[in-house]
Structure 1
Amino acid sequence: MTAPSRPAAPDQPAAPGSPASPLAGRTVVVTRPRDQAAVLAAGIEALGGAALILPALEIGPVDDDGALRAAAARLADFRLAAFVSPNAVHHAWTALGPAVAALGGWPQDLTAAAVGESTAQALRDLGVPRVLVPRDRFDSEGLLAMTELWHVAGWKVVIFRGDGGRELLADTLRTRGAAVEHVACYTRRGPADGGRALAEALAAGQIDALTISSSEGLRHLHDLLPADQRRHLAALPTFVPHQRIAETASALGHSSVILTPPADNGLLEGLCGYNWPQGC
């Protein structure tokens, strides 16, 4: 594949059919949670495409935030606070924000860590002055590979995440001698409509490509769809911003999985650079 062209800025839409509108005539599904889908949808439309927002996951606050409030009250006791996603930052901040304000700012001896740049930027936007973030691989493995986290014996660590989730970060830090606790600060559930809108769009042949930013979300979609629609879904060009999601898509039978650079900009680059079939 040739190097993808740079996407047009969302506020400068290309004329349909022009060389700068590589998605002209294409409908691309955006499966991010609804309140996080606007940037990617706008980018697709700026490139001449149509964005169909069909969230694979619904994100919401936890029913009981007692553990979150308790961790916030002890924030200065921790040596490391890790956030697994922008959702973790935003939902944790309902309790952390007042705690940080009461402390006069983010504790000087508390290292904030993020698994990726979007999560790190969410922390910076809230005034966290220094954020540890991987430089290459944007996941728990990338964070654990950083030299700053090799020697954590005796550290108290708190990990802010959704309900459930991977145990790799906590388990590895424990083997390195840290005392680790999880705090669930948001929930992840399947789409509220049970996948009906996606099934209808697939049946009508209205979709040209799929963007996926969560392995869990993709599994939700497969679980919700009837067998014939799962086959239609798996036949679509599937754009994913992480190797682990690509592996999940392949395991679920997706025949054309395109691994893109990270985040929304990466997905847009992948969509721009794809060798779209003619006449469809």
Structure 2
Amino acid sequence: MATHQPDPQRALTNLKGRRILICRPEPEASRLARVFRAAGAECRLMPLLIREPLPETPEQRTLMQELDNFSHIVAVSPFAARLLLNEIDNWWPQIPMGIQWYCVGSGTATEFARHGIRARQPKQGWTSEALLKLPSLQNLAGDKVLIARGEQGRELIRQTLEQRGATVSVLPLYRRSQPYYPPEQVQEIFGDFQPEVVIALSGETLNNLNETAPDYHQSLHSAFVVVPAERVAQQARAAGYRNLLVPEGLDDQSLVTSVASWLTPEAGNNGKPSKDARD
């Protein structure tokens, strides 16, 4: 049965006056807030991850010096790509030739493009699982792969590529930590502002949200929560969240348009989130 699809531009008008809490790290949080505010939404920022570049190690220097030995290089996030490219600029007068570059989403692809690199990415989806479906990552016997990422993270890409015959090196470039927010700031956001929509684009962000606002779980579980993928949606459901949306994309405009479209009465929600979002 055909269903009505709200016009994206018309849907943006439904954001006027909506209370949006953005939990992305900076500078992404402020950048996304500008797009929501341009559509009339009210925003609060509460970054729930701090990313800190790691100091250079002998292992990192060795990997940088041997960069031209790798057949494939994967960056798991825009921040990882940015730090990797900065390191390459420090070590190489020009980017080595013959490497196939990979990324999960459009934000990372944009970082690569700024350095003249055309990275391969999934045509549909923006998860590790989608990346691993690329044809050029199927038969890797004898190939060397470098993965640029945070100090800790999912091991799916590394483990899968090793199973496919690759020799995989992991290059940790940054660490993530949970920031502290004083009780009065937590009260202002969750007690006074009372967000209708929460942007939480990782499982770690969701965990930190739960730990930051333990006294507001009931209201949070009724809020409209945007998560990056079905894997995180399952984690959110297990934690008690009911109103979930996996957006059409993770770039700023896709996030804003997806939220606006889902909140429109034409979407069947009467302007309110639905617990069946993307189930």
TM-score range, shorter-chain basis? 0.7 to 0.9
Structure 2 residue 40 is the aligned partner of structure 1 residue 53? no
Structure 1 residues 192 and 121, CA, compared in 2 at 3 Å: closer, same or farther? same
Structure 2 residue 29 is the aligned partner of structure 1 residue 37? yes
Q: Quick one: percent identity of the two aligned structures? A: 28
TM-score (norm 1): 0.86
Aligned to 2:248: 261
Structure 2 residue 153 is the aligned partner of structure 1 residue 165? yes
Q: 2:238 aligns with which of 240, 251, 261?
A: 251
Kept in 1, the 8 Å contact 2:88–2:95? The answer is no
Aligned to 2:129: 141
Kept in 1, the 8 Å contact 2:70–2:144? The answer is yes
Kept in 2, the 8 Å contact 1:240–1:257? The answer is yes
Aligned to 2:83: 91
Aligned to 1:14: none
Structure 2 residue 162 is the aligned partner of structure 1 residue 174? yes
Kept in 1, the 8 Å contact 2:149–2:172? The answer is yes
User: Matches of 1:266 and 1:241 in 2, distance apart?
Assistant: 12
User: Matches of 1:125 and 1:4 in 2, distance apart?
Assistant: 34
Stretches of structure 2 that go unaligned for 5 or more consecutive residues are 264-268, 273-279
Deviates more, 1:61-70 or 1:170-179: 61-70
Structure 1 residues 69 and 7, CA, compared in 2 at 3 Å: closer, same or farther? farther
User: Matches of 2:243 and 2:17 in 1, distance apart?
Assistant: 20
AA aligned to 2:228 is: P
Stretches of structure 1 that go unaligned for 5 or more consecutive residues are 9-18
Structure 2 residue 99 is the aligned partner of structure 1 residue 110? yes
Superposition deviation, residue 163 in structure 1? 1.2
AA aligned to 2:27 is: D
Kept in 1, the 8 Å contact 2:230–2:246? The answer is yes
Kept in 1, the 8 Å contact 2:44–2:189? The answer is no
Aligned to 2:226: 239
| SS of residue paired to 2:175 | strand
User: Matches of 1:267 and 1:189 in 2, distance apart?
Assistant: 24
Aligned to 2:108: 119
Superposition deviation, residue 51 in structure 1? 1.4
Superposition deviation, residue 195 in structure 1? 7.6
Superposition deviation, residue 5 in structure 1? 3.4
User: Matches of 1:5 and 1:32 in 2, distance apart?
Assistant: 27
AA aligned to 1:127 is: G
Superposition deviation, residue 196 in structure 1? 6.0
Kept in 2, the 8 Å contact 1:34–1:53? The answer is no
- CA RMSD in angstroms comes to 2.2
Structure 1 residues 151 and 196, CA, compared in 2 at 3 Å: closer, same or farther? farther
| SS of residue paired to 1:94 | helix
User: Matches of 1:195 and 1:70 in 2, distance apart?
Assistant: 45
Structure 2 residue 72 is the aligned partner of structure 1 residue 80? yes
Superposition deviation, residue 133 in structure 1? 0.8
Structure 1 residues 196 and 234, CA, compared in 2 at 3 Å: closer, same or farther? farther
Kept in 2, the 8 Å contact 1:156–1:178? The answer is yes
AA aligned to 1:132 is: R
AA aligned to 2:103 is: A
User: Matches of 2:56 and 2:182 in 1, distance apart?
Assistant: 25
| SS of residue paired to 2:15 | coil
User: Matches of 2:179 and 2:119 in 1, distance apart?
Assistant: 32
User: Matches of 1:5 and 1:217 in 2, distance apart?
Assistant: 30
Superposition deviation, residue 143 in structure 1? 1.2
Aligned to 2:5: 3
Structure 1 residues 39 and 205, CA, compared in 2 at 3 Å: closer, same or farther? closer
User: Matches of 2:229 and 2:190 in 1, distance apart?
Assistant: 24
Superposition deviation, residue 246 in structure 1? 1.8
User: Matches of 2:143 and 2:69 in 1, distance apart?
Assistant: 10
